[in-house]
Amino acid sequence: MSETVNNSVTEKQSEREQFVTNIALESFEDSPNERLKEIMQSLTKHLHDFAREVRLTEDEWNAGIKFLTDVGHITTGTRQEFVLLSDVLGVSMQTIAINNEAYENATEATVFGPFFVEDAPEIDNGGDMAFGAKGQPCWVEGTVKDTDGNPLPGARIEVWECDEDGFYDVQYDDGRTATRAHLFADENGEYRFWGLTPVPYPIPYDGPVGKMLDAVGRSPMRASHLHFMVSAPEKHTLVTHIFVNGCEYLKRDSVFGVKPSLIKDFEQQTANTPTPDGRELDRDWARARFDIVLPPAK
């Protein structure tokens, strides 16, 4: 009788399975692109190891193929289910961690998310990026500096978020543009704008990714957050969020985006409290500060 391997697979069976892996890896040897060869061989090896480790059945593999097919079918120009899948598996955050190495006091990065839109309208410093969307008004201010503490005048700041109901503008079918804008830091590297106090919301869960989360008992909820993308000449572009201190989903964000350094206090203000820019508000509002530090470009 053949010797067993891993308590369940015989040595002969293991050799047979390894043979398949070896010839698959060998098929990439003549690739003219060394980096592509490295990626494809590593991917193939890990996929084969995964199948062998869990003893994947043919029915399970076919179910996986159907799942990925469904992910492709529901993906559109405004809904990226593959990004969603990458996010909930933590691959997006892992890739971000790899490509945004810790550098001195630079601000940490987090997931890009599927709702960024190019060419968001420009607002002046102190302008309102909510554009009439529902939600609690929130004053956000801060600075953009390099790791030596020097201001970065003219740094471009993209901001976007959901409304009070948990929806981004692109999730509506009326073509609205709201809760997104870009602005530029002033000559002192300072910025300020009105937005909305972030609220928690579910990632789209009416598709295959949502069904997968439900099957494994995971919540689709994201912790309350406001998106930033910040860029300046000769600096590494930062993609990040700030999160609301006290949000119940900070420890179970569905895409693993929360980092302690990005949790900020959104200080509640009562109606008619004087605002930083003299705006009159007869309702409650909030304010938050986010000082941004950009590392050098690689």
Domain of residue 191, CATH code: 2.60.130.10
Q: What is the pLDDT of residue 115?
A: 87
Q: What is the pLDDT of residue 77?
A: 80
Query: Is residue 31 domain-shared with residue 150, that is, in the same domain?
Result: no
Query: Is residue 36 domain-shared with residue 170, that is, in the same domain?
Result: no
Split into its structural domains, the chain has a count of 2
Q: Is residue 77 part of a domain?
A: no
Distance between CA 102 and CA 152 in Å, rounded? 20
H/E stretch holding 64 reads: helix 58-74
Q: What is the pLDDT along the chain (298 residues), one digit of tens a residue?
A: 344 445 689 999 999 999 999 999 999 999 999 999 999 999 999 999 999 999 999 999 999 999 999 999 999 887 889 999 999 999 999 999 999 999 999 999 999 887 899 999 999 999 999 999 999 999 999 999 999 999 999 999 999 999 999 999 988 999 999 999 999 999 999 999 999 999 999 998 999 999 999 999 999 999 999 999 999 999 999 999 999 999 999 999 999 999 999 999 999 999 999 999 999 999 999 999 999 999 999 8
Q: Is residue 73 part of a domain?
A: no
Q: Is residue 67 part of a domain?
A: no
Q: What residue numbers bound the domain in which 280 lies?
A: 82-294
Exposure b/e, 204-222, CB count within 10 A at least 16 = b = bbebbbbebbeeeeeebbb
Q: What is the pLDDT of residue 33?
A: 98
Query: Is residue 18 domain-shared with residue 142, that is, in the same domain?
Result: no
Distance between CA 198 and CA 174 in Å, rounded? 22
Q: What is the pLDDT of residue 291?
A: 98
User: Which own/partner pairs from 250-253 qualify as long-range (CB within 8 Å, at least 24 positions apart)?
Assistant: 250/223, 252/219, 252/221, 253/221, 253/222, 253/223
Structure tokens at 204: 């789209």
Q: What is the pLDDT of residue 7?
A: 62
Q: Is residue 118 part of a domain?
A: yes
Query: Is residue 97 domain-shared with residue 51, that is, in the same domain?
Result: no
Q: What is the pLDDT of residue 6?
A: 58
Query: Is residue 28 domain-shared with residue 159, that is, in the same domain?
Result: no
Query: Is residue 127 domain-shared with residue 259, that is, in the same domain?
Result: yes
Distance between CA 232 and CA 184 in Å, rounded? 10
Q: Is residue 62 part of a domain?
A: no
Query: Is residue 167 domain-shared with residue 22, that is, in the same domain?
Result: no
| Nearest Cα residue to 143 out of 129, 159, 123, 157 | 157
